[in-house]
Chains A and B, each alone.
Chain A
Amino acid sequence: MTAHSPAPLQVPVKQPWLLLAGIALGLALIEAALWWIATKTPPDIILGVVQKVFYFHVASAFVMLLTLTAAAGTSLYDLIRPDDRADALARSCLEVGVVFALCVLTSGPLWARKSWGMYWTWEPRLTLTLLVTLLAVAVIALRGLAEDPQSGRRVGAAMAVMGAPASFLIHVAVKWWGGAHPQVLQGGGIRSSEMRVAFWLAVAGLITFAACMVVARFRDLRLQDRARSLRLNLSALELRRGRA
């Protein structure tokens, strides 16, 4: 950089048409799933209409595990080969993962009240999900508390990697521990094809929507990075002007 190069004040920012289209698609799929669940699927013989929470509950859990695993993966990549994009992607996935974990943790008790007779029970999958959510929140909070942003970034990445085994255990918890969660997908619990369509519509809708949220947050973080480097350039200009 030369001594007095002008800072590029006008940064061209492309309109995120693809992202907007993705969000529209995700919302349309979710709408379709809701409509299908409301009109086509039969109410459960025992649980009644509450059973229909299942479609979005399990789909949210899917998305939660996907995003948290992606956060651990991109964090690992960032540790091995430091890359600002990997870092931004890891942060976006982690934040979206927490949002969907909250969806899981609120939709679960609605089902549990009817099915298990209580909102909350000390069951391995439930407890592990809450623990992992807390860990993810701690990792997000940690960045702001670190001595400098770069060390916060590496520490956060290492912690995200450490959480991966616990996320994996959520997945296998019911199989290994027993516990009260029904094994619907493995046990062939979905009998009618209407239910199957509803379930996969919900999964497709939430995955599309979550992917768009990740991309939006990623874009946001990258724009913040760019703004920061512009402000740095400005500070360099001011410092150099002060010397003259």
Chain B
Amino acid sequence: MTPTSPQEPAPLEARGVAWAAGERFVLLDLDVTLRPGELLLLSGHNGAGKTSLLDVLRGERPVDRGAVLLQGVPLPEVAVHELPRHVASLHHRPGLYFDLTGRENLTLMAALCGHTLSVAEVEAALTRVGLEPAAWDRRVRHYSRGMKQRTGLARVLVSGARVWLLDEPSTGLDPAGRATLAQVLRDARDEGRAVMVVTHDPELIALADRHLVLRGGQVHEGAL
């Protein structure tokens, strides 16, 4: 891990983090820095603690030791309502209301992050993730799994957050969907966002600027 320059703190950084499930440490002495404009890839065996690490990074689980710093400020000191503006995440559940349409979901989620989106902006986001217009005004309940995943990605897009934490984002996506995802991730990197992706998808691994492996509660450079 190279230290970031002192004048600009990293968008998100874990320092000496330890997190225990019950009486066993899952993460221990863990350091990781997300840098702007970098696509960071994380892999590891099942049960290595990848999802736990993402939960710790987005402030969903408090650390037992060490600290997670958002732009240099330790997470507990960042007011809980500041987080969604800065950190967006996508998990195994897409973070959408199944009885709202894709369009309504995006408008609402952007508003919760403090942005008011125009109709054109919402449609642009839905187009960007490759959701066909016929589906925009249908309820998410009737979407296929891949369509839900795409809409979840669109939600991350409209949040405007500088840090993205994506857990297995290619789950349920067809080849075209994977290509779209790869393009969205490349664009995000070019826009200067810090992106961390947990995946074992070779297509995405090829994109990564840095590849980390979670092993023994720590992250190591290199492939699995």
Contact = CB atoms under 8 A, between A and B. Distances in A.
Interface in B7-56: 18, 20, 23-25, 28-29
B23 A235 contact: yes
Interface in A189-244: 228, 231-232, 235-236, 239-240, 242-243
B28 A239 contact: yes
A240 B24 CA distance: 12
Given A150-B62, A236-B18, A236-B28, A243 B218 contact: yes
Chain A interface size range: 10 to 19
Contacts, number: 27
Contacts of B28: 236, 239-240
Interface residues of B, number: 14
A148 to B, nearest CB: 8
Contacts of A232: 20, 23-25, 64
Give the dominant DSSP class at A's interface: helix
B169 interface: no
A82 to B, nearest CB: 10
27 contacts: A1-B65, A3-B29, A148-B61, A150-B62, A228-B23, A231-B23, A232-B20, A232-B23, A232-B24, A232-B25, A232-B64, A235-B20, A235-B23, A235-B24, A235-B25, A236-B18, A236-B25, A236-B28, A239-B25, A239-B28, A239-B216, A239-B217, A240-B28, A240-B29, A242-B216, A243-B216, A243-B218
Interface of B: 18, 20, 23-25, 28-29, 61-62, 64-65, 216-218
